[in-house]
């Protein structure tokens, strides 16, 4: 008896037929947006608990953030409120998607890195000022990595 005739053809064994059924999952709070080349994207607060926060949004706009147009990102479609200050923007729950040129973000990161280093230097100087040669204060911020010896 020839058993090769009883087997199913390989054409019927595809990933599509072996795919698991889809499962329900809760929706994401913020839509996924395709990144734009040369820009950093961030959600900026417009309001909290339906109370507008004009100080925050104006500070962000002065920093260089600009609202992302909904027409530029149809994949993030969200129904918008008609009474908004930014009519063609992507807004979700008091947040608005904004963009800034990547070089601004690098300059911003460098600025805050310099600020943090200056603060640490100030703390170190203040701490070491209390040191006495007879009983020095130990202040070591360097770490050393050593590897164990195999036996």
Res 122: pLDDT: 87
How far is it, in rounded angstroms, from Cα 90 to Cα 77? 7
Res 117: pLDDT: 92
Q: Which pLDDT band, with edges at 50, 70 and 90, does 101 fall under? A: very high
Q: Which pLDDT band, with edges at 50, 70 and 90, does 62 fall under? A: very high
User: pLDDT of 16-53, one tens digit each?
Assistant: 556 677 888 787 788 788 888 999 999 999 988 888 88
Q: Which pLDDT band, with edges at 50, 70 and 90, does 14 fall under? A: low
The continuous run of DSSP H or E covering 45 comes out as strand 39-45
Q: What is the mean pLDDT of the chain?
A: 80
Cβ density class 52-62: b for 16+ within 10 Å, e for less: eeeeebeebee
Of 3, 20, 66, the C-alpha closest to 39 is 66
Alpha carbon 14 to chain centroid distance? 37
> Residue 133 pLDDT > 80, yes or no?
no
Give the C-alpha distances (Å, rounded to integers) separating 30 from 97, 99, 137.
10, 15, 50
> Residue 11 pLDDT > 70, yes or no?
no
Task: Indicate the DSSP class of residue 40.
Answer: E
Res 1: pLDDT: 53
pTM for the predicted model, two decimal places: 0.61
Res 126: pLDDT: 78
Q: Over range 77-94, report the average pLDDT.
A: 76
């Amino acid at each position: 008896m020839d058993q090769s005739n009883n087997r199913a053809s390989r054409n019927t064994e595809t990933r599509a037929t072996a795919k698991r059924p889809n499962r329900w999952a809760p929706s994401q709070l913020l839509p996924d947006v395709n990144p734009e080349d040369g820009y950093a994207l961030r959600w900026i607060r417009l309001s909290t608990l339906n109370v507008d926060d004009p100080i925050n949004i104006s500070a962000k706009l002065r920093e260089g953030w600009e609202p992302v147009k909904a027409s530029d990102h149809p994949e993030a479609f969200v129904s918008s409120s008609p009474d908004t200050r930014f009519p063609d923007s992507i807004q979700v729950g008091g947040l608005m998607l904004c963009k800034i040129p990547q070089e601004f973000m690098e300059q911003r990161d460098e600025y805050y890195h310099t600020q943090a280093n200056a603060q640490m230097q100030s703390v170190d100087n203040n701490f070491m000022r209390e040191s006495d040669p007879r009983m020095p204060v130990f202040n070591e911020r360097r770490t050393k990595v050593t590897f164990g010896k195999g036996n």
